[in-house]
A and B are shown apart, each in its own frame.
Chain A
Amino acid sequence: MLELIKQPWHWSIAGILIGLTVPALLLIGNKKFGVSSSLRHICAMCIPANISFFKYEWKKEIWNLLFVVGVLIGGFLATNFLSNPNTIVVAESTKASLAVFGITDYSQLMPSQIFNVENIFTLKGFFFFVVGGFLVGFGTRYAGGCTSGHSIMGLSNFQLPSLIATCCFMVGGFFSTNVLLPLIFKLF
């Protein structure tokens, strides 16, 4: 059984389990599935700076912060106790595209050629950590949600704004991957 769990899970298993998070949170306490709000609660908690957008009782949203702490712990547990002994299987065509950028290390879930402590103070690190992270935080809040709040919770509840947001996430991602990344990789 443990051997089976250690294998990478099929997309349908992952999809079903992620989908079940929606009713789980609703049934436990009428909570709407969403992750990016946690970033706002962190702002409200740590640096509200008298900005009206961050002046609310974040303590009422503590469930959301505990939820993301749980995600972090889950990541730790799964990696340390249930991890797949084999390397990740990635589409050959993707591997070929990424090799052009010098991404060839598939020993971990993240490419060591980018997500490496040594890159922190380099231009590469600046783009992939600082700029990328900023766009994620700024964009999700501007859009009012991320993949969880809009694409999963919002679409589950047939919300047209969530469908629009999801389409824009995808358009942004296609543009970024196919147009911006090749330009960014030319810098280093």
Chain B
Amino acid sequence: MRIKKSIETRHQDAMCTNESKKSENTFASNLKYLLVGIAFGTIFVKAEIISWFRIQEMFRLQSFFMYGVIGTAVVVGMISVWLIKRFNIKTFSGEKISFEDKKFNKGQIYGGLIFGIGWAITGACPGPLFAQIGSGFLVVFITLVSAVAGTWVYGKFREQLPH
């Protein structure tokens, strides 16, 4: 029961609930994710997605750039997921790739609006925050610490919030 509950809490956040039985969860076996992250961070900087100006352009409808990026990414993601499902493609280590459905709750509305407000102020969603710090904008470390604090406060008062 306790395990089930823990899985449910983790499900809610698109976390990995489907642990690999192969030699995962050692530091070395996870290094490949570091490499994917490095590639991802590089794209963020090279396409100037981490720029506060790009977010301003987007929310003022004065540039197509960010809409183009997100739209293309979604289309590529959709095709990839479809192909994986259609041909039952396995992971490189031969395990089944699983997809869980997300459940609707009002948090997606309230939380979504709150995040949107913060996104326009900081010019960053969580991913670009890390890339901005790496790019040398060290003050963004404060933004990151504050974001961790925000996550913590949510966890603390979660039961009292409407969902």
5 examples of A-B residue contacts, CB within 8 angstroms: A19-B76, A28-B36, A60-B25, A70-B36, A140-B151
Interface of B is mostly: helix
Select which of B16, B38, B142, B156 is within 8 A of A120 by beta carbon: B142
Count the A-B residue pairs with Cβ separation under 8 angstroms: how many? Answer: 546
The verdict on A139 contacting B111 (CB below 8 Å), with A35-B127, A94-B56, A109-B53 known, is: yes
The verdict on A144 contacting B37 (CB below 8 Å), with A19-B77, A90-B53 known, is: no
Distance of A148 Cα from B129 Cα, bound (Å): 13
The verdict on A18 contacting B43 (CB below 8 Å), with A137-B148, A137-B154 known, is: yes
Contact yes or no, B78 A155, CB < 8 A: yes
Q: Across the A-B interface, give the 7 residue pairs with the lowest CB-CB distance, nearest first.
A: A172-B116, A70-B37, A74-B41, A15-B72, A19-B76, A142-B111, A168-B112
Query: B146 contacts which chain A residues (CB < 8 A)?
Result: 129-134, 137
Contact yes or no, A72 B130, CB < 8 A: yes
Contact yes or no, A62 B30, CB < 8 A: yes
Distance of A165 Cα from B157 Cα, bound (Å): 20
Query: A94 contacts which chain B residues (CB < 8 A)?
Result: 53, 56-57, 60, 62-63
Distance of A32 Cα from B6 Cα, bound (Å): 18
Number of interface residues of A (CB under 8 A): 140
Q: Which of B55, B70, B132, B161 has the most CB of A within 10 A?
A: B70
Select which of A22, A70, A114 is within 8 A of B77 by beta carbon: A22
Query: A130 contacts which chain B residues (CB < 8 A)?
Result: 142-143, 146
The verdict on A47 contacting B40 (CB below 8 Å), with A8-B47, A155-B78 known, is: no
Query: B137 contacts which chain A residues (CB < 8 A)?
Result: 108-110, 115
